[in-house]
Chains A and B, each alone.
Chain A
Amino acid sequence: MYAFTYHRPKSVADAVALLGQFEDPKLLGGGQTLLPTLKQRLARPSDLIDLGQIPELQGIREEAGGLTVGAFTRHAEVAHSETVRRVIPALASLAEGIGDRQVRNMGTLGGSICNADPSADYPAAIVALKATVRTDRREIAGDDFFTGMFETALEPGEIVTAVHFQKPDKAAYAKFRNPASRYAIVGVFVAVFGSEVRVAVTGAGPSVFRADDMEAALAQDFRADALNGASVSAAGLNADIHASADYRAHLVRVMARRAVEACG
């Protein structure tokens, strides 16, 4: 780790002000990605601005029939929240399946989506649950937020403050985890809003995407067997020592079936 100056602002406004003051500042969420990066000396920020003491970034509340989750909400808080379990139980179970206990006790929603790891779980929920990402300066539709591998629509110095998730009629998330890291090799979030079905796939590609064929098939007939004809092409999917593109394509269908079955 290279030396840096540590700051702990008490408001978003202060954090924004700090961001403007330094040469190469970096926001610190739960540190689960950023700290290992620093320890390996792969990044050299001049200043770290810890978002952990900002009340505006905390908390889970019901809003407009859906849920608003502060950016600095830890995965464990989402997993254990009575409110989340009642309003969107699939979101609680997604959070419960992230990494391991230590990671869930530290990692945050904001950090997860800003990092935009292709195998992170939350991106699937952002897209499937028609979320809105709120920042210090605007609102970004969930569908537009993830723009590529480790890339988002955020501008430099933009701070995510909260995410609003819409409440689906029913939803479920099925994950095939990497046995080593426990990130998603493939994660499929299925959500039903009236006649609309969303199938958001994470882990499989460079960034979260919607499986159009599957959505269409399920909109017709919301049963796992309706997916028999639908498939995702392996072209362009991720491949690594844990899973080839073919295997990932296969897993998308298996996980989609499981998510549909779990929707009941």
Chain B
Amino acid sequence: MANPNGIGASVRRREDARFLTGRGTYTDDINRPGQTHAVFVRSPYAHARITGIDAAEAMQAPGVIAVLTGADMEADKVGSLPCGWQIHSKDGSPMKEPPHFPIARDRTRYVGDAIAVVIAETREQAKDAAELVMVDYEELPAAVTSLKALEGGAPLVHDDVGGNVCFDWHLGDAAAVDAAFAQAAHVAKLDLVNQRLVPNAMEPRAALGEYDRATGEHTLTTTSQNPHVIRLLMGAFVLGIPEHKLRVVAPDVGGGFGSKIFHYGEEAVVTWAAKKVGRPVKWTAERSESFLTDAHGRDHVSHAELAMDRDGNFLALRVSTIANMGAYLSTFAPSIPTYLYATLLAGQYKTPAIYAEVKAVFTNTVPVDAYRGAGRPEACYLIERLVEVAAAETGIDKAELRRRNFVPASAMPYQTPVALQYDTGDFAKNLDIALPLVDYDGFAARRGESARRGKLRGIGFATYIEACGIAPSNVAGALGARAGLYESAEVRFHPTGSVTVFTGSHSHGQGHETTFAQLVSERFGVPIENVEIVHGDTSKIPFGMGTYGSRSLAVGGSAIVKAMDKVERKAKKIAAHMLEAAEADIEVKDGRFVVAGTDKALTIGDIALQAYVPHNFPLDELEPGLDEQAFYDPKNFTYPNGCHVCEVEIDPDTGVVQVVSFAAVDDFGRVINPLIVEGQVHGGLVQGIGQALYENCVYDEDSGQLITGSYMDYCMPRADDVPSFTVRYHEDQPCTHNPLGVKGCGEAGTIGASAAVMNAVVHALSEYGVTHLDMPATPERVWQAIRRHTPAQAAE
């Protein structure tokens, strides 16, 4: 009988009951006896010298316990926030890595940079006192956009980083690309901007520091996607606290989208301050503070060229990108526009030669780092826009042009010219499923019908591939990662047969408590309600690299499988002993341990009980207990891929774009919980549509003030902005190198959607001769594009 809660079942998310009824426990919900509150004094200037800080009046304010500054941290030898990835420039020199102190010392480099922290009995008292901290600033000119920061004579964000260039890196074979371009029958070119985004997790960041004088143990409770990583970075590099005296807990976390991977200064400040003031210290960001201080995403300016032969076969791709790093290097910032971006520029195509150059630039803005998709949406957007331009210019149907250039399934495993080796994927199949789903052949008729209503209609594709499950530690290490990228798990059977699984992955919206429990239920026939998933606490979990890059199931889930393998081996031994059979004769069938060829069988529950009541165990050969740990380090990335097709209708009178249909056909390898996968795809698509049509982080180009600092100006996509999605997946191309055959689904929607939407928008506008539009395709931008291309109206 199939397990109703096993692999492939759409089990409803077990964690949702708690979240939907307000019973989740988020960092800000946790209050400790004697707790104090921290409020940061933040820089109102994008760039200024700090010439003095006078906290005397603030110290006198009611309830104030301490006002601490960068100088206090310096006196305590607090270090700089470390960067977890090192890139080397073309000339072999290491990237520029200026210090990034949790509280600025003599200079502030973006609006929102921390200048001081006020700790008081209540939050309101801390806020009142923060207004009384007198900071003397000497304002400096700011370099706000990446392009301006690169101009000669631009203000220097860091005095010792000439030209504001963090690194100037490249990948691929420039000579082969030049040679191919020389042979090309046609070259398609495109300049494009991948605009900056604010991540906007529903739960703002928060951190609670505690110090136990009796044991000397520090505890940080924080909104993190990877508490062990924070323990390592903060403990070893910033505060100098060894692991055994530092516990980091990430309880329920309300969304991250990447922005909660990084080690932020506030975490170090509350941990440090808790010892200093001798009481717990809590900080919770307000939404406007989140806008100013959460690491932002994207922010690329690129030029791309695609060389083709007469038949539209891609010969070579040349890309040059300027990536904005913000004022300092956030934890993984350098890896995003390099190894998570340029390595994906082959896309689904067998382009034989690719060369990419990436210049990373410091600016007077908040740091930029991974945001859902992290580099891969930027790559997908660039390739898929360029392919669509190529299709329009050559007159080859855009589906056909893609098909002609796909890496065929028969070529798998396929080594791309940009470092990655795809293991599986049948790109033509994705397209074959998608085309009838969207009635591609009927598009012309639909366009005609729209035209009769005075509307423009367009259809656009994105055939994407991404690299997930980051990654094999040896590969990551070779590429500059200063960490390994494995995952750990522990599967603990209790005497009565219930199970606790400890995972190094971290769930902040992904539904691990359900999916991971399904793995255990399937394997051992344990009812799902008897399986508990524990995550997010360094004192409970062996180790954890955390959740990002759609890695939880592929890496964390595989670690659970490895631990279950060990449990099974041990259980077989115990079964053999109990059933007086040879270990080799024990078979596992439907979760039962059977002596081959007999009806003698035990359930895992029977075995677990014996494991903890070992009255007559042969103790020389068999240890009591049924509790196993495993670390899993993957052999390769996983490569989710798919075909997204978007159809839009545009009102030429106003420029409003409406997404009228969206179909996503994805290959995520094996699917454990289709309901959760579909939910991840839906959320991802909305985020991708958000970037294409609505979201845009705008700083004033001169002053560096954040103009889109609230939802009044920063436009989030809402339910009524998107259509009902058509989502399909197939499981014919399982990942070949992890035990579950899974690839990951957390970012795919975001990676494909922006390109599909923009391709549809440009297609709709093509009758006016529009060939490209930068995101977001706001009503005014669309209207202006129409106007520019309509002689009569332009003259008006």
Contacts and interface: CB of A to CB of B under 8 A. Distances in A.
Contact of A241 (B288, B654, B713, B721): B713
B783 interface: yes
B783 A250 contact: yes
A126 B783 CA distance: 30
A181 B713 contact: yes
Given A3-B124, A241-B707, A254-B654, A181 B712 contact: yes
B654 A1 contact: no
Nearest to B696: A241
B714 interface: yes
A180 B714 contact: yes
B694 A179 contact: yes
A241 B714 CA distance: 10
Nearest to B698: A241
Contact of B780 (A3, A41, A180, A243): A243
A179 B715 CA distance: 6
Contact of A254 (B653, B696, B707, B778): B653
Interface in A162-177: 176
Contacts of B654: 176, 251, 254
Contacts of B293: none
A242 B698 CA distance: 11
B127 A244 contact: no
Give chain A's interface residue range (CB within 8 Å of chain B).
Answer: 10 to 19
A180 B711 contact: yes
A2 to B, nearest CB: 8
A180 B712 contact: yes
A193 interface: no
Interface string A27-46: 00000000000001100000
A181 B711 contact: yes
A40 B292 CA distance: 14
Contacts of A180: 694, 711-716
Given A180-B714, A254-B653, A242 B778 contact: yes
Interface string A133-170: 00000000000000000000000000000000000000
Nearest to B708: A241
Interface in B287-333: 288
B783 A247 contact: yes
Contacts of B721: 179
Contacts of A254: 653-654
B124 A179 contact: no
Contacts of B778: 179, 242
B687 to A, nearest CB: 16
Interface string A109-127: 0000000000000000000
Contacts of A250: 783
B784 interface: yes
B124 A41 contact: no
B193 to A, nearest CB: 15
Given A179-B778, A254-B653, A242 B783 contact: no
A205 B713 CA distance: 18
A3 B340 CA distance: 49
Q: Top 7 nearest A-B pairs by Cβ distance?
A: A180-B715, A181-B712, A247-B780, A179-B715, A254-B653, A243-B780, A180-B713
Interface of B: 124, 127-128, 131, 288, 653-654, 694, 696, 698, 707-708, 711-716, 721, 778-780, 783-784
Given A40-B288, A180-B712, A241-B696, 11 more contacts: A1-B124, A3-B124, A41-B127, A180-B694, A180-B711, A180-B715, A181-B713, A241-B713, A243-B780, A247-B779, A250-B783
27 contacts: A2-B128, A40-B288, A41-B127, A176-B654, A179-B694, A179-B715, A179-B721, A179-B779, A180-B694, A180-B712, A180-B713, A180-B714, A180-B715, A181-B711, A181-B713, A183-B712, A241-B696, A241-B698, A241-B707, A241-B708, A243-B779, A243-B780, A244-B780, A247-B783, A250-B783, A251-B654, A254-B653
